[in-house]
Structure 1
Amino acid sequence: MSGESGGGPSHVGRPRGEIRPRVAVSSCLMGELVRFNGGHSRDRFLNGELDPYVDWVRVCPEMEIGLGAPRESLRLERSPAGPRLVTRRSGIDLTDRMTSLAVRRARALDVDGYVFKSRSPSCGVHGIPVHAGDTVVDRRGVGVFAALILRAHPLLPVEDEGRLNDALLRETFVERIFAHARLRALLESDWHARDLVAFHSRHKMQMLAHDPAAYREAGRLVALAGVRPREELAADYARAFGTAFARKASIGRNVNVLQHCLGMMSDSLDAARRADMAEVIASYRAGRIALSVPTTLLRHHARGQDAGYVRDQTYFAPYPEELRLRNHVPA
């Protein structure tokens, strides 16, 4: 992909030895001077907290179709066949060029997530104005480039930088890209049936917090490991896994997982500790404390009681702890 960047000098001093998501990103969000006005839209979270833990694949579709920077701004215009991408002043139709690029990029895309530029008629994924002449007739449009990427990769974790300002959406997106990266690392390896079984076992509680139905479907697939053809099983498991994480975890499902894990350790905890944990979980359910409190305490107890199954669940460490994304109190 044109404009890609991965390792190299920019990664000196970053954490090593862990699975790193590959995340496509609109180049302007990384500070590249590719916007229509010759500037950038550098995002603080992407370039700051998240940057040490991911490998970025930088993409600017406008530059790739030869528009340059600075350039005439673009907009979406209504047509019977769907929104067209046109230059705002001169009315040049760029839809076919952008569509051709998007099809090529979608076919070759191999990433764990994508952060698009918000409000862009090329890359926006929510609420892009669609015009009829000088009148906005629809505010629910999707950028021409982004729409084709989304259609080709419906389970790919996707957000725009504006929505990542929301604490829950930010946590959900980051959780998804790390889960996606762990599965990609497994399936790119010389894995065997036992490896898929172990992977699924570690992710059970995390999947259950997102989508119990997809969790059960993934379990049924894993039960066939060693029986079904390897590539067919991998594709079906990846679909079930991605479907699970495409649904946001809820307070209720998190409480279910927390209580489930507590139940698995109940015989090794005394009555006082069980009562304390139950009270902490109830406080989380009531919206008085962040999820980080019960998960930290449960993980601490699992380590102290050598409860390996609970301790090793990815639910308790879905991404690097330094990101501190579970510290917000649920609304």
Structure 2
Amino acid sequence: MPSNPTQADKPRIAISACLLGAPVRYNGGHKESRLCSQDLAEFFEFVPPCPEVAIGLSTPREPIRLVGDPRQPRAVGSINPAMDVTQALTDYGQRMADELGSLCGYIFMQKSPSCGLERVKVYQDQGRPAELSGRGIHAQEFCSRHPDLPVEEDGRLNDPVLRENFLTRVFAYSAWQDVLRQGLSRRRLTDFHARYKYLLMAHNPEQYKTLGTLLGNMGQSDPAQIGPRYFSQLMAALKKCATRRTHSNVLQHISGYLKQAISREDKQEMQHLIGQYRHGIVPLVVPLTLLKHHLRRHPDPYIAQQVYLQPHPESLSLRNAL
């Protein structure tokens, strides 16, 4: 279970520089996100690139915009369309993807023609309205080279469910990097999956079974071949947001380990709080806190290793709003 990380073991997250308050936007301003610059900065090592400045554009500068085919747009000057920076942004995305292999996540500036992840305006010819279907040139290139990396836009992080989901994936990605550093083996692969059992059940119960089958059929296969397939499917599964129903199901499963250890009254209280959570009366942290209390008094070695109980530092308070 992650505790508050020290500087040495903080997961590295790339973040658009303007979101940390750097005056790098086309108008010389910034788009500081207090959530990122204040609430999250304690827990992560931020790497703050600005692709437009990195390719040599000045601040302030003529703004760029996406034009043409939304599937393959070009980035050009909004006043001088002859200023085409598409290739420069693409090259920078390739270079950064190669240089920053140790990242565990990336927070992009929304709507940006260089950094937006989705619904970026792509302007059309002959007066046709812009399509809200593009992706920033840099974001597209970077993400294509790191398809499993957790990525999110700043605006979506204001949603507590999406924020908790993103940061859960960041810490899972970081934990996998630790496994790779130790050396991938069949034992480490199955131990990792065992620790993520209930987190997977909360996010995507079907995929938990699929991944278990994948590892169960591993036999004498090389873990170096199975591992990347396993992890790619794991990250896809965790991208699906857990619900009150799936969280409640996991809480019921884990509380079952206590059925011989706690009194009938304690079991009734546990069931009552799980029911209140499922119906939206209390947040997830309420039944989870009681469950952890009983598990401290009646520890179970298998449950103690479950990432679900603390997938991110407790002081982030992410489950207080779920």
* TM-score, with length taken from structure 2: 0.91
Partners in 2 of 1:61 and 1:168 — Cα distance?
A: 29
Please state whether the residue corresponding to 2:129 is helix, strand or coil. Answer: strand
Q: Structure 1 residue 101 and structure 2 residue 92: aligned?
A: yes
User: In structure 1, how many angstroms separate the alpha carbons of the residues matched to 2:100 and 2:129?
Assistant: 33
Q: Which has the higher contact order (CA 8 A, sep 6+)?
A: 2
Match of 1:125 in 2: 117
1:316 aligns with 2:306: no
1:196 match: 189
Give the CA RMSD over aligned residues.
2.1
* 1:38-77 superposed matches below 5 A: 38-77=28-67
Match of 2:248 in 1: 255
Does the 8 Å contact 1:61/1:145 carry over to 2?
Answer: yes
Distance 2:117 2:146 in 1: 13
Corresponding residue for 1:85? 75
Question: Residue 124 of structure 1 contacts residue 146 of structure 1 at CA under 8 Å; is this kept in 2?
Answer: yes
Contact kept in structure 2, 1:155 and 1:243, CA below 8 Å? yes
For 1:303, the aligned partner's letter is R
Contact 2:90 2:137 in 1 (8 A): yes
Calculate percent identity across the aligned residue pairs.
36
What letter matches 2:124 in structure 1?
Answer: A
Unaligned 5+ segments in structure 2 are: none
Local SS of the residue matching 2:196: helix
Residue identity matched to 1:88: S
Say if 1:45 and 1:238 are closer, same or farther in 2 by CA, change over 3 A: same
Per the TM alignment, residue 146 of structure 1 is displaced from its structure 2 partner at its CA by 1.1
Contact 1:120 1:128 in 2 (8 A): yes
Alpha-carbon separation, structure 2, partners of 1:81 and 1:307: 51
Contact 2:13–2:104 (CA under 8 A) maintained in structure 1 = yes
Change in Cα spacing, 1:265 to 1:222, as seen in structure 2 (3 Å) is farther
1:26 correspondence with 2:16: yes
**SS across alignment from 1:129:** strand
Rounded to whole Å, the distance in 2 between the matches of 1:16 and 1:103 is 30
TM-superposed CA distance for 1:307, in Å, is 2.0
Q: Which stretch has the larger CA shift, 224-233 or 255-264?
A: 224-233
Q: Which shows bigger deviation, 131-140 or 144-153?
A: 131-140
In the alignment, residue 136 of structure 2 is paired with which amino acid? G
Q: Deviations along 1:143-175, whole A, 9 cap, x unmatched?
A: 111122233333321111111111111111111
- Out of 190, 198, 203, the position equivalent to 1:205 is 198
Shift of 1:191: 4.7
Contact 1:34–1:40 (CA<8 Å) still a contact in 2?
Answer: yes
CA drift at 1:81: 7.0
- Is the contact between residue 18 and residue 32 of structure 2 (CA under 8 Å) also seen in structure 1? yes
- Pairs aligned (count): 316
Cα distance in 2, alignment partners of residues 203 and 176 from structure 1: 12
Over residues 174-223 of structure 1, what are the superposed CA-to-partner deviations in whole Å (9 max), with x where a residue is unaligned?
A: 11101111111111223543333322222110111111222123223433
1:129 offset after TM fit, Å? 1.3
For residue 103 of structure 1, what is the amino acid of its counterpart? Q
For residues 178 and 35 of structure 1, the distance between their equivalents in structure 2, rounded to whole angstroms, comes to: 30
Q: Within 5 Å, which residues of 2 pair with 1:138-287?
A: 138-223=131-216, 227-287=220-280
Determine if contact 1:76/1:131 at 8 Å carries over to the other structure. yes
Structure 2: distance between partners of 1:148 and 1:190:
29
**Alpha-carbon separation, structure 2, partners of 1:80 and 1:226:** 45
Q: Which stretch shows the higher mean deviation, 151-160 or 279-288?
A: 151-160
Q: Distance in 2 between matches of 1:309 and 1:297?
A: 18
Contact map agreement 2:184 2:224 (CA 8 A) in 1:
no
| Kept after mapping to 1: 8 A contact 2:70/2:131 | no
* Alpha-carbon offset, residue 101 of structure 1: 2.1
CA-to-aligned-CA distance 1:224-247 (integer Å, 9 cap, x gap): 567221311221221222122121
In 1, Cα distance between equivalents of 2:71 and 2:282: 50
